[in-house]
């Protein structure tokens, strides 16, 4: 008996991995970054009524959080690109025009 997975299982696992990356990228772009960007803008609108030091501290934390999300997004997109390039490399038939 062999310990190798059937080809269909390997393909399904790869498809799941790429779908998961796309989902994470979507969540980061559409939810995390959008919400944090709006919060950052809201903080600047409060600058007249709240201590400028407090606004600066919260704005700095939000901006650093956004940068962490951007780094994660770049890593996810790099993974998606690498997957697509591997798929293209594995194709034996030339592309149709």
pLDDT of residue 1: 47
Distance CA 73, CA 96 (A): 32
- Of residues 55 and 64, more confidently modeled: 64
Domain locations along the chain: 13-89
- Of residues 4 and 50, more confidently modeled: 50
By three-state DSSP, how is residue 74 classified?
A: helix
Cα-based distances in Å from 59 to 18, 27, 96: 34, 22, 51
Q: pLDDT digit string (tens) for 13-53? A: 666 666 676 777 777 776 677 777 778 777 777 777 878 88
Distance CA 46, CA 54 (A): 10
Q: Decide if 26 contacts 72 (C-beta within 8 A).
A: no
- Of residues 2 and 74, more confidently modeled: 74
């Amino acid at each position: 008996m062999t310990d190798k997975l059937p080809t269909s299982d390997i393909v399904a696992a790869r498809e799941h991995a790429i779908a998961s990356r796309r989902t994470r990228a979507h969540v980061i772009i559409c939810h995390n970054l959008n919400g944090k960007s709006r919060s950052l803008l809201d903080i600047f609108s409060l600058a007249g009524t709240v201590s400028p030091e407090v606004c600066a501290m919260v704005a700095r934390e939000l901006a650093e959080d956004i940068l962490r999300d951007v780094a994660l997004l770049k890593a996810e997109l790099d993974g998606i690109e690498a997957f697509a390039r591997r798929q293209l490399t594995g194709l034996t038939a030339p592309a149709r025009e």
